[in-house]
Chain A
Amino acid sequence: MIFSPTSLSAAEDALRHEVRAWLAKTLPTDFRPGLGLGGRHDPEFSRALAAQGWVGMSIPEEYGGAGATTVERFVVVEELLAAGAPITAHWIAERQTAPALLRFGTEEQRRWFLPRIAAGECFFSLGMSEPDAGSDLASVKTTAVREDDGWRVSGTKVWTTNAHLNHFFVVLCRTSTADDRHAGLSQLIVDLSSPGVSVSPIPLIDGELHVNEVVLDDVYVPDDRVLGDIGQGWTQVTAELAHERSGPDRYCSVIGLLHSYLAEIGVPDDRSAAAFGRIAARLWSIRQLSLAVARSLDEGEAPATEAALVKDVGTIFEQQTVETIREIAALEIDPEGSMLQQLLAECVMNAPSWTLRGGTTEILRGIAAKALTRGGAR
């Protein structure tokens, strides 16, 4: 543990400015930013971004990507999230599914899915959580039963973001009744338009309808849609989670809020100056940390513990930021008010989810504590 700061090369820095300029030109002037990875679902934007070569960047060129490094992808994604760009359509496919396909997918799957993901034409959701399997993910009950040349899947998945808009989801399910509850798990790529798939919204506290329950009733999945090896689902899923926890999505949810606070209020007194400065100082430090983790991934390391630490620090920072800005803005929040008020309203109602999604604070601290106490952290 204890990372050293990393510098961007001139080329990486130039890429940042290229993305920033493109966003300034592409997003409308009255654009209402999304909260980081909570941006809108906009297939048209995803395709335009893909045309720039900025979707699925780390996919190798032979599969239609740019063969970019983790840091190059970091630079692009950070700019998109900071701007609150509408990236949700391709987000999971590019962040999570593409790397999983590259690591565990068959050559045929890579050739079919990856060029479509990189083109911004193939969108994925996650099929992990269930009504009785949240933090204890290994207790999933969705079951796939063997058929001649495929599987029949039945069960219920929840918190499936944008399942009503996306094309596929990767379902973690039980393919054997092995005593070892980790050993019987597998990942299947399920077409969300398959017969037997029914998607219904789970309304959230702010009235939004982008999160769903997906019921699978005897859904047929052919053998060539098995991701990785049967029985290896748990290993594959944990690798995914460790790899993806430390990215800029863990501290960028509040950039739009900070921008609109400065635009509308500024720092009228010492108290607000100090409060805003503390937020900025944290943001500045956390992004250096997150960038250092990205660089270490490029250097072949797998800093799972540090990734968990970054996510924990980042998401707690985001929540504290909302509270601090609310305090120094000192206003009653009108959800239809100014940009600051709209964003504050959305932040206040969504902030609790930041320390839940992608592994709760408690789970992350458990991972980190294990590493610390067995001397596993560097």
Chain B
Amino acid sequence: MSEIDELRDAVADVLRARSTAEALEAAERDGWAPDVWSALAEGGFATVAVPESAGGSGGSVAQACAVLEACGAASAPVPVAETGLLAGRLLASAGLSVPEGPVTTVASPGVSFSDGVLAGAVDRVPWGRSASLALVAGSSVVVVAPGSGVVTPGRNIAGEPRDHVDLTGVRPLESAPVGPDAVEDLRRRGALSRAALIAGAARAVLDLTVRYTGEREQFGRPVAKFPAVAAHLVQIAEQAEIAAMAARSAAEGAGEEGEPAALDVAAAFSVASDAAGAVATAAHQATGAMGMTREFGLGVLTRRLWSWRDEWGGGAAWAAELGRSLAAGGADAFWPTISRGLVASS
């Protein structure tokens, strides 16, 4: 087993006893899951891919995505992607350290920063009410304390906090100038994080659906034995496989220390975003009315698939970006670009 598989399994082990049905219900009600968070944070899993010099656990983008696959599979209701791969790396790129506790971030084109004071608001901030907020404002990265500004609670289809935060008049705890690529890099990591979460959740949907259709009997045999139902299982397996391959390829492409490439992320998120819908549809069809109940446990996964596919711009926008970029490269560059793939550096 490779190191990355071991890491994914280690996170799954941590979450198995903690990200339970009861914990998920509580998180949806309270907007926070302290036990899930502290278990992941104590293991150092929330800051993978953030250099140790910035207070992180170190590691590559691919390792961070392996953690996210496990989080997606367990529906972990905490901002692991935001704290490490997104905000943590953003802060580190500006020479800042990651604050204690959960950190979140979001694209923030409308926030300005002058004379030490922020102006403007950000929307759909994951766990904005509970986490420190790291943002690009103008040409700086800023960090504000949890609960700063005016927080208006919101949520996504899965009941995960997505808050509106008005930062006007807020003084950041810290700020530092940031490079010109920071915003674009953050956006790419954001899309990649959703692809990895989707890949993990899709795999969990497959396991759940295969188990249920193998047990549920109608007409005297398990429903999975009916070819029409079996075809749904195969569809889920295919989509889970291709979403994982896409997310992992884009993550591996970042290498040990680098950032993922634009084309890779666009392709990965487009594929994962489409897979999210296809997997959810097939799983609900295969599990029938039972799958629609709160108790069954499919909903915590499918509601996340339906949410994550639209975040960070959504799959269609990334597909359009990919299409425009390939067209701009010209017909003769099309196949060489698509088949570039991963090439070992040694």
Contact = CB atoms under 8 A, between A and B. Distances in A.
Interface in A268-300: 270, 272-278, 280-289, 291-292
Given A277-B318, A285-B242, A16 B323 contact: no
B326 A280 contact: yes
Nearest to A373: B224
Given A270-B320, A274-B323, A368 B234 contact: yes
B180 interface: no
A365 B231 contact: yes
B341 interface: yes
B233 A372 contact: yes
B335 interface: yes
Nearest to B242: A285
A9 interface: yes
Contacts of B234: 309, 312, 365, 368-369, 372
9 contacts: A5-B252, A7-B252, A258-B334, A276-B327, A281-B266, A285-B242, A312-B238, A313-B238, A373-B225
A288 to B, nearest CB: 5
Interface string A1-15: 111111111100100
Interface stretch (A128-136, A235-243, A259-267, A348-356): A259-267
Contacts of A273: 319-321, 323-324, 327
Contact of A366 (B4, B227, B271, B321): B227
Interface string B237-263: 110111011101100100000000001
A365 B342 contact: no
B331 A259 contact: yes
Interface of A: 1-10, 13, 16, 20, 78, 82, 255, 258-260, 262-263, 266-267, 270, 272-278, 280-289, 291-292, 306, 309, 312-313, 362, 365-366, 368-369, 372-373, 377
A313 B245 CA distance: 13
Given A16-B339, A372-B233, A280 B322 contact: yes
A282 B275 CA distance: 10
Interface in B193-236: 203, 206, 210, 213-214, 222, 224-225, 227, 230-231, 233-234
Contacts of B322: 277, 280-281
Contact of B270 (A8, A259, A281, A286): A281
A72 B37 CA distance: 46
B17 interface: no
A325 B251 CA distance: 29
A16 B252 CA distance: 21
A280 B331 contact: no
B108 to A, nearest CB: 24
A174 B317 CA distance: 57
Interface of B: 2, 4-5, 203, 206, 210, 213-214, 222, 224-225, 227, 230-231, 233-234, 237-238, 240-242, 244-246, 248-249, 252, 263-264, 266-268, 270-271, 274, 316-324, 326-327, 330-332, 334-336, 338-339, 341-344, 346
A299 to B, nearest CB: 12
Contacts of B324: 267, 273, 277
B244 to A, nearest CB: 5
Contacts of A276: 323, 326-327
Contact of B319 (A2, A6, A274, A289): A274
B40 to A, nearest CB: 22
A130 B344 CA distance: 46
A285 B335 contact: no
B267 A284 contact: yes
Contacts of A3: 241, 244-245
> A2, A273, A286, A287: which has the most chain B beta carbons within 10 Å?
A2
A372 B332 CA distance: 41
Contact of A280 (B248, B267, B316): B267
Given A273-B324, A368-B234, 13 more contacts: A1-B241, A2-B203, A3-B244, A5-B342, A8-B343, A82-B335, A277-B320, A284-B249, A284-B271, A312-B238, A313-B241, A372-B230, A373-B222
B3 to A, nearest CB: 11
A288 B344 contact: no
Contacts of B343: 7-10, 13
